[in-house]
A and B are shown apart, each in its own frame.
Chain A
């Protein structure tokens, strides 16, 4: 006990406590940016900082002034939504002084697969290739004009654009079925998929032609009674058609 009547061990502990709290307050004053928390849990001045960065992209329209031929071609093509600078890199310098700064062009095989390499997270129908097996050794430009990527001929297989579905189906009970067993696909769909749609099964009979107990399909196919099984629901409300499973 000291003179104040406080047990002695409290004193050093209290000093440490005060030091820690003071260090905390000091650190907050020192390190927490002034504008922190103004709008939310972040530094408000970061917004202005980012806004004040130098602009390096010129924008799509700017190229039209001098490269109108390429611009027009591209506007008509499948790449109409891909901006020039997505491939050529930032070109703000170039439009100021075209002769001094020329943008690069991605001529190697590595670039296009950034968008077109197969990745299951891309939307179904997006044209994708496996770079290793798609005409290896040749630059993409030998067969596809980057400003107007028309296909040399229509894809032979649905997996060119629906590889995600093809992959799943390939390891399912429906592996042996061709896509066209269930989908009526006009040939134009392979060239203009957004304008000419493929058809999707609309009724239960489409599945019943193989699975109904009265159908004359091969014997090994599992059967159900189409009148009663699943009642009035469509079959694919319970069975994913590209990977049919049977609940346990």
Chain B
């Protein structure tokens, strides 16, 4: 009997209450946590760029192109966690060949393809066309041909032609915004439509996802802009940072109110799942939800952003506060994704017990792969920035040396 007790205690260590046999192990792990995180950054960065373009928020000019490139580099990485999670990446193209229109998950390829090919690449190409053509004229050797190739063999950069670029680009931005909403709303939809899971199943889910995406995207652009300016030894434009901070504040307030609304709605409805969910929040998710998501990831950065934006501080201090707030927001949004994906699997569908989740280090779903997947977009961004410099000063120099003789 003693033997039995010890074996049993070993098996039941992290489990409390009653859970079904197929709930011992979580099927969606870290990789599925970073997938919505990455797509959120894409959608957020793109929406920020569109704001500048459509509403001519001129302060944001310095981050416009940078946001597009950031969106692209995160977009390239976004499907990788899914491919790694499912295995057999060589089969992934089959979902394009035999589309299954009744399955939201199977339609991901098309949502992704549309957004990448029709929106992001096209908009970047149109925006950079003039620079590409100029680079093609100016550079030597292989890179000359590389830029010629990028220009797709069309080298007219007369004012009339550039004007058309601008018009078409504007049109694509207009399609782009609903597309970005679609991309990330889609990810929220996947979770929100699981009606058997009370933690996920909610019509608010796509909307909450969308706003948290915007929050994470703006915070990311603050970080990318600050770090890139530091490395280039350039003065950051305070007006731009202030504007970014302002938008971040608005987006965070909307996001936080929506999440609160969702929360209060659940409390008020008080369906039979409420007691296990509150158990889960006060035990398993306490650190990741109450501490990191709400306190560290929302309230603290909101306070520091508001005081830095509207308080009377020296610019250095403001920058410092923005930077810290943006990092905290990233941590907060990451834990939001964690709480949705992992939280939805920690409680039993019998509503009587909780299981536990321990991250593994190695292995396909492990911590190392996850870290690699989070670093990869930054590497891609570095390469993209080298190939297509987004800085207005670089381009300006060039225009002077190149276009004046014409």
What A residues does B164 contact at CB under 8 A?
A: 7, 9
A130 to B117, CA, bound (A): 56
In-complex Cβ contact of B153 among A12, A167, A168 (8 A): A12
A31 to B92, CA, bound (A): 13
Stretch at the interface among A72-80, A183-191, A213-221, A240-248: A240-248
What B residues does A9 contact at CB under 8 A?
A: 126, 129, 154, 156, 161, 164-165, 168
A167 touches B12 (CB 8 A): yes
Interface residues of A in 228-248 (CB under 8 A from B): 240, 243, 245, 247-248
Q: B7 contacts the other chain (Cβ, under 8 Å)? A: yes
Q: B89 contacts the other chain (Cβ, under 8 Å)? A: no
- Number of A interface residues, CB 8 Å? 34
What B residues does A126 contact at CB under 8 A?
A: none
A170 touches B168 (CB 8 A): no
Most chain A CB within 10 A, of B96, B98, B156, is at B98
Report the minimum CB–CB distance from B275 to chain A (whole Å): 6
In-complex Cβ contact of A167 among B8, B17, B93 (8 A): B8
Q: B3 contacts the other chain (Cβ, under 8 Å)? A: yes
Q: A83 contacts the other chain (Cβ, under 8 Å)? A: no
B7 touches A132 (CB 8 A): yes
* Chain B residues touching A, range: 20 to 34
A168 to B98, CA, bound (A): 46
A32 to B94, CA, bound (A): 8
What B residues does A12 contact at CB under 8 A?
A: 152-154
Q: A28 contacts the other chain (Cβ, under 8 Å)? A: yes
Residue-wise, chain A 92-129 has the 8 Å CB interface mask toward B (1 for contact) of: 00000000000000000000000000011100000000
Q: B251 contacts the other chain (Cβ, under 8 Å)? A: no
B352 touches A13 (CB 8 A): no
A7 touches B96 (CB 8 A): no
Interface residues of A in 4-51 (CB under 8 A from B): 7-9, 11-13, 16, 20, 24, 27-28, 31-32, 36-37, 41
A1 to B156, CA, bound (A): 9
Q: A27-B97, A243-B18 are in contact. Are A8 and B352 (CB under 8 A)?
A: no
Q: A9-B129, A9-B164 are in contact. Are A133 and B352 (CB under 8 A)?
A: no
A121 to B22, CA, bound (A): 8
In-complex Cβ contact of A121 among B21, B93, B100 (8 A): B21
Report the minimum CB–CB distance from B130 to chain A (whole Å): 11
Q: B371 contacts the other chain (Cβ, under 8 Å)? A: no
A30 nearest in chain B by CB position: B97
Q: A148 contacts the other chain (Cβ, under 8 Å)? A: no
In-complex Cβ contact of A11 among B154, B165, B352 (8 A): B154
Report the minimum CB–CB distance from A116 to chain B (whole Å): 16
A32 touches B18 (CB 8 A): no
Q: A8-B154, A20-B117 are in contact. Are A130 and B168 (CB under 8 A)?
A: no
Q: A171 contacts the other chain (Cβ, under 8 Å)? A: yes
Report the minimum CB–CB distance from B236 to chain A (whole Å): 34
What B residues does A243 contact at CB under 8 A?
A: 17-18, 352
B22 touches A240 (CB 8 A): no
B98 touches A41 (CB 8 A): yes
What A residues does B154 contact at CB under 8 A?
A: 8-9, 11-12
Q: A9-B161, A9-B165, A27-B97 are in contact. Are A130 and B7 (CB under 8 A)?
A: yes
Residue-wise, chain B 140-159 has the 8 Å CB interface mask toward A (1 for contact) of: 00000000000011101000
B100 touches A41 (CB 8 A): yes
What A residues does B161 contact at CB under 8 A?
A: 7-9
What A residues does B5 contact at CB under 8 A?
A: 170
Residue-wise, chain B 100-122 has the 8 Å CB interface mask toward A (1 for contact) of: 10000000000000000100001
What A residues does B93 contact at CB under 8 A?
A: 27
A159 touches B4 (CB 8 A): yes
Residue-wise, chain B 198-217 has the 8 Å CB interface mask toward A (1 for contact) of: 00000000000000000000
Q: B160 contacts the other chain (Cβ, under 8 Å)? A: yes
B17 nearest in chain A by CB position: A243
Interface residues of B in 271-313 (CB under 8 A from A): 275
Q: A167-B12, A247-B275 are in contact. Are A24 and B96 (CB under 8 A)?
A: yes
Report the minimum CB–CB distance from A131 to chain B (whole Å): 11
Please name 29 pairs of A and B residues whose Cβ atoms are closer than 8 Å in the assembled complex, sorted by A: A7-B161, A8-B161, A9-B161, A9-B164, A9-B165, A11-B154, A12-B154, A13-B122, A16-B152, A20-B117, A27-B96, A27-B97, A31-B94, A32-B98, A41-B98, A130-B4, A130-B7, A132-B7, A133-B3, A159-B4, A170-B5, A170-B8, A171-B12, A240-B18, A240-B352, A243-B17, A243-B18, A243-B352, A248-B275
Known A9-B154, A167-B12, A240-B352; 4 more pairs at CB < 8 Å: A9-B161, A11-B154, A13-B122, A119-B21
- Residues of B near any A CB (own CB < 8 A): 1, 3-5, 7-8, 12, 17-18, 20-22, 24, 93-94, 96-98, 100, 117, 122, 126, 129, 152-154, 156, 160-161, 164-165, 168, 275, 352
List the 9 closest pairs (A to B, CB-CB), nearest first. Answer: A121-B21, A12-B152, A120-B21, A7-B164, A133-B3, A8-B156, A32-B97, A12-B154, A8-B154
